Amino acid sequence: MSSLSRRQLLRASAAALAAGVLPARWASAAPRAVRVAVIGGGLAGLTTARELVAGGIDSVVVLEADTRVGGRTVNLPLPGGHVVEGGGEWIGPGQDRIAALGTALGVDTFDAYYAGASTYEIQGVVSQGTLPELSLQHGFEFLRLAWRLERMAKALPDGKPWAAADAAELDGITLAAWLAREGASAWTTETFRIITRAIMSGYPERISLLWFIFYLKSGGGLLAIAQNDGGLQDLRFAGGSQLVSIRAAEALGPRVQLDEPAVALAGYAEGPVEVRTRTAVYQAERVVVAMAPADTLRIDFRGGLSPQRLELVRRWGQLTRLPLIKHSVLYPRPFWRDADLNGNVATDRAPLQLVFDNSPPDASLGVLTCFLAAAEVPGMAAREDRARLVPQELVRYFGPQARASTGWVEKDWSTDPWSTGCITPLPPGLLSAYGPALRAPVGRIHWAGTESAEQGCGYMEGAVRSGERAAAEVLAALRG
């Protein structure tokens, strides 16, 4: 299902709910009283619930629409009892909250594989090494512009880029427009295109300059975001990143309700808040909506959202993004390591955005994970075509052995029924005007999700931090 048709479906569903088209069993369900209802069973929602229980609020329910927890983290099974991540997977220096959560839940980490040379393809030139093949002029120009962006990012108010004195100006242009204004060469522009496709699933021509530099500051800088070994792609979770959510849900026990999408909220101006799902009605003193802003379009907020929050969600749901597919190709062993290659490919060529060695730590089989968007390569829109064509594309970088794959697994986020995508490329004009609504409570409703994080925005770190913040808000309100 395309992102457009999914968006139309969400709007139609919301309209039906608003018109009162609800099955009779919803209307007749006896309400269940809870102190806090958390909507969303990803890292943000589960962290919120953990913090509330630790703070003495035992009466908590987590309502997860899917039949699994984890949100935008999901493990895909591999032969031999291994898994590979179909969503978020890496953590790095400075991401201490997700690291602490993993430790508390007994989920170990291991080093992602980066021994050997990386492969780069920029403007048709394929090179291997620590850095791409580049001239002194290109290297100097990239460093000059990267330094400028870092300085602009550091000048932003912590966690509140919309409060910068020049926020409207920075949010009024795209990253591409700024690069052009600074005289960036085609090579440098393509290099930034590789970065934005990888970390934001979008093009510099569509991404707000303010959003980009906030992303840099929130993630610890351009080097931290772009660097693999020693950067934010440094470590993986043993057993897959979804295991963190699985363990958190196990500890919360029956408080976590799967296959229970919230469809309507009412009464949140005075309380208690009425939360309706497909099968139940809950009455809660407080509600935390731990979802990506666009995904909240599925919920009918019958009491009415604030104008700023409503416009934020509406515009977020209309974003143009590259719906990502995370496609992993399997091999009997990681053969590329024999040639002293680490399996990492960064390219401006359309078929594959990024490639990583995602083999299990014991290297008992080889896994090359590729990021791609069918919108860029219509010939790979069908699963069977990807299974055939992706190994052929990998031959460009790893030789004829790349054809000898033994299987594949993938997560196509464009067809996920409960998520509009992994990453958000905000366009100009949205963050400066509506950014404060990312975190501002509306009545007795609080908001969580990695997009609302002051630090680690867009990463698992941001999801955990947003859950901790939302729980602190709720605890203060209930105690007050």
Residue 372 counted as domain residue = no
Task: Give me the domain span that covers residue 49.
Answer: 3-71+241-319+423-479
Q: Specify whether 170 is located in the same domain as 259.
A: no
Classify residue 96: in a domain, yes or no: no
For residue 28, what pLDDT is reported? Answer: 54
The per-residue pLDDT for range 89-136, each reduced to its tens digit, is 999 999 999 999 999 999 999 999 999 999 999 998 999 999 899 899
- The span from the CA of 91 to the CA of 220, in Å, is 12
**Residues 427, 470: one domain?**
yes
pLDDT at 423 exceeding the cut of 90? no
pTM of the model: 0.93
Residue 46 lies in a domain: yes
Whether residues 309 and 438 fall in one domain = yes
Go through 31-58 and write b for each residue having 16 or more CB atoms within 10 A of its CB, e for each that does not: eeebbbbbbbbbbbbbbbbbbbbeeebe
- Does residue 422 surpass a pLDDT of 80? no
Q: Are residues 126 and 221 in the same domain?
A: yes
Total domains, the chain:
2
Residue 35 lies in a domain: yes
Question: Distance (Å, rounded) from C-alpha 443 to C-alpha 270?
Answer: 7
| Same domain (yes/no): 29, 60 | yes
* Residues 152, 194 share a domain: yes
Share of the chain above pLDDT 90, in %: 82
Predicted local distance difference test score (pLDDT) of residue 24? 38
Whether 134 maps to a domain, the answer reads yes
Q: Looking at the structure, tell me whether residues 210 and 259 fall in a common domain.
A: no
Closest CA to 454 of 473, 435, 441: 435
| Alpha-carbon distances of 253 from 60, 241, 257, 448, 463, rounded to whole Å | 11, 20, 9, 21, 21
| Cα dihedral 379, 351, 317, 449 sign | positive
Spatial CB neighbours of 378, under 8 Å, sequence gap ≥ 6:
none
Q: What is the pLDDT of residue 18?
A: 37
Would residue 289 count as lying in a domain? yes
**In the listed set 182, 201, 226, which residue is the last one of a domain according to the structure?**
226
Last residue of a domain, one of 182, 202, 226: 226
pLDDT at 350 over 90: no
Both 249 and 169 in one domain: the answer is no
Taking the alpha carbons at both ends of the chain, their separation in whole angstroms is 46
Q: Is residue 445 part of a domain?
A: yes
Question: Are residues 55 and 9 part of one domain?
Answer: yes
Give the CATH number for residue 10.
3.50.50.60
CA 385/CA 383 separation, integer angstroms: 5
Report residue 233: phi and psi, to 5°. -110, 35
Residue 191, both tokens = 């290099």
- Assess whether 186 and 262 both reside in one domain: no
Residue range 343-349: average pLDDT? 93
Q: Give the domain CATH number at 165.
A: 1.10.405.10
Do 201 and 292 lie in one domain? The reply is no
Co-location of 249 and 220 in the same domain: no
| Residue 397 covered by a domain | no
Q: Report the SS3 class of residue 47.
A: helix
